[in-house]
């Protein structure tokens, strides 16, 4: 196999398109919706610190591994893992890492789309001035009434799935690249406008204290696992999304530079979202641990009280839609590409078929907020929370662990070195050590401790 060949699906025009596409995948609901609410649920500062450490010592090295595997394999994660295992004379079982990822992407998209649908409705609600001068209670009630209405949730879930599939069906160049080229400048522009607006509306201090005061007695083992899982989730790691995008990356672009850029921007956006949400939480005596509705209750309250609030509020939720959209396409692309490679059907049919399946599973998430609210599926959690927990906190770290082992121990060193092509040998050696030892051990320790702490405690006693 030659390292210069191109993917059959097409290629990004240049390295900047890869960086934009990967940043678009990384920045999404994870940064704007999920990060604030899980930080609230897990007590703030100590959680944020664990999350940042996970980004640095696990996320960045594993993202480099994903890109290099993808670019060397030049196909869907399932087939890239299969062909690279062959090249390294390793077991063909490695392709199941690709399968684990494809399944995880499918499951994540099923609930991702439902939540992105909320943002669509809220863009309209704010734009129509529905929350102007509304009391916190009224805003909360409006949100709860919305969640109680499965048909409305389904309508917006359907709309968002269609938006995602239209892009994916159009293919790498006319679909994904075109969408990224239009969406990312809009996303950054909206971010800048809202940042300027946020800085001028004041009320930072308490939020800064909440996010950056490290109070470790508040950190439960499960919180560390949530922080680890979120590091994977926010960087789009562990399921092959970045691997897929790496397959479309031009061969001479620097992987290290691209990955640091993506991870850096993603982290800044998360911290920015936290600094935007928590001042409002504290100023209005809301509950930081309110859960998935946090964003959809806090922000309408704040925008409802600000001059030009309907305009900026609608703009904000539009930003959420675009961020989610440029992420959702990366969740399903690996599976669509695999179906196309198999020759089962063309890209349009593959997108429709997988889209319908994802849509159906998404109904489970819709019902978790109303008719199935109290039905538990896994560890006392309802359908949505089970799915979120199993994908983000188990499947992604497990996928990441396997990817780290594969790139660190299984692939030929000459191939890895050539693909990474790092200018500094010291940095290359550092990456190798971290990927081989630090990341896998850290993932294993956090996972085993959080999932099996009762058993471990009895063994140790």
Q: How many residues bind ligand TRP (CB under 6 A)?
A: 17
How far from the centroid of its chain's Cα atoms is residue 423's Cα?
30
Evaluate whether 312 touches 197 at the Cβ level (below 8 Å): yes
CA–CA separation, 43 vs 286, rounded Å? 14
Neighbours of 441 (CB within 10 A): 12
> Segment near ligand TRP (CB under 6 A), from 29-37, 122-130, 180-188, 216-224?
29-37
Asked if residue 23 binds ligand TRP (CB under 6 A), the reply is: no
- The span from the CA of 36 to the CA of 272, in Å, is 10
Interaction pattern, residues 389-428, with ligand TRP; x per rule: CB under 6 A? -------x--------------------------------
Minimum CB distance to ligand TRP, residue 42 (Å): 17
If binding is defined by CB under 6 A, does position 239 make contact with ligand TRP? yes
Backbone φ, ψ for residue 378 (5° rounding): -140, 125
Using Cβ positions, the residue closest to ligand TRP within the complex turns out to be: 30
58 binds ligand TRP (CB under 6 A): no
- 68, 240 contact by CB (below 8 A): no
Site string for ligand TRP, 208-227 (x = CB under 6 A): --------------------
Contacts 24+ apart (CB under 8 A), 443-446: 443/58, 443/228, 443/397, 443/400, 443/401, 443/404, 444/401, 446/224, 446/225, 446/228, 446/397
Q: Residue 239 or 302: which CB sits closer to ligand TRP?
A: 239
> Which residues partner with 381 through β-bridges?
378
Query: Is residue 29 part of the contact set for ligand TRP (CB under 6 A)?
Result: yes
332 binds ligand TRP (CB under 6 A): no
> Does 236 participate in binding ligand TRP (rule CB under 6 A)?
yes
For ligand TRP, what does the binding mask look like between residues 92 and 111, x meaning CB under 6 A? ----------------x---
Token pair of 177 as six digits: 């690249």
Contact window for ligand TRP (CB under 6 A) among 28-36, 136-144, 188-196, 453-461: 28-36
Binding flag, residue 241, ligand TRP (CB under 6 A)? yes
What are the residue ranges of helices labelled H in 170-254? 178-200, 205-212, 221-234, 241-247
Per CB under 6 A, 28 contacts ligand TRP: yes
CA angle 260, 38, 43 (to 5 degrees): 105
Q: Is 327 in the site for ligand TRP (CB under 6 A)?
A: yes
Residues that bind ligand TRP (CB under 6 A): 25-26, 28-31, 108, 233-234, 236, 238-239, 241, 327, 330-331, 396
């Amino acid at each position: 196999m030659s390292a210069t060949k191109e993917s059959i699906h097409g290629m990004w025009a240049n390295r900047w398109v890869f960086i934009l596409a990967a940043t678009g995948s990384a920045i999404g609901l994870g940064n704007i919706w999920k990060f604030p609410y899980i930080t609230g649920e897990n007590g703030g500062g100590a959680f944020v610190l664990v999350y940042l450490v996970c980004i640095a010592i696990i996320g960045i090295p594993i993202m480099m591994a994903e890109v290099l595997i993808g670019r060397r394999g030049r196909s869907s994660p399932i087939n890239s893992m299969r062909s690279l295992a062959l090249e390294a004379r390793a077991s063909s079982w490695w392709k199941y890492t690709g399968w684990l990822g494809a399944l995880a992407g499918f499951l994540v998209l099923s609930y991702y789309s439902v939540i992105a649908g909320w943002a669509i409705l809220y863009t309209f609600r704010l734009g129509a001035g529905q929350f102007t001068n509304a009391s916190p209670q009224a805003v909360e009630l409006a949100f709860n009434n919305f969640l109680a209405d499965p048909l409305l949730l389904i309508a917006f879930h359907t709309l968002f799935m269609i938006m995602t599939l239209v892009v994916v069906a159009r293919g790498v160049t006319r679909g994904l690249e075109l969408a990224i080229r239009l969406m990312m400048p809009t996303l950054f522009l909206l971010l800048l406008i809202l940042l300027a607006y946020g800085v001028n509306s004041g009320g930072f201090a308490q939020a800064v204290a909440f996010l950056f005061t490290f109070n470790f007695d508040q950190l439960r083992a499960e919180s560390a696992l949530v922080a680890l899982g979120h590091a994977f989730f926010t960087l789009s790691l562990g399921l092959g999304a970045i691997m897929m995008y790496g397959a479309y990356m031009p061969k001479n672009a620097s992987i290290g530079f691209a990955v640091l850029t993506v991870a850096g921007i993603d982290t800044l956006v998360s911290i920015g979202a936290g600094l935007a949400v928590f001042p409002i939480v504290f100023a209005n005596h809301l509950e930081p641990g309110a859960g998935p509705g946090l964003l959809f209750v806090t922000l309408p309250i704040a925008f409802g009280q600000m001059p030009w609030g309907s305009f900026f509020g609608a703009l904000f939720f539009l930003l959420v839609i675009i961020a989610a959209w440029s992420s959702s396409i990366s969740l399903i692309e690996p599976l669509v590409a695999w179906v196309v490679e198999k020759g089962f059907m063309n890209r349009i049919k593959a997108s429709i078929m997988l889209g319908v399946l994802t849509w159906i599973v998404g109904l489970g998430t819709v019902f978790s907020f109303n008719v199935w609210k109290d039905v538990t599926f896994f560890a006392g959690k309802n359908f949505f929370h089970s799915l979120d927990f199993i994908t983000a906190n188990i499947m992604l770290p497990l996928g990441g662990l396997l990817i780290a082992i594969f790139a660190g121990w299984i692939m030929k060193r000459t191939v890895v070195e050539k693909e990474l092509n790092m200018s500094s040998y010291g940095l290359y050696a550092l990456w190798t050590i971290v990927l081989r030892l630090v990341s896998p051990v850290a993932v294993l320790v956090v996972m085993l401790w959080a999932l099996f702490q009762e058993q471990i405690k009895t063994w140790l006693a």
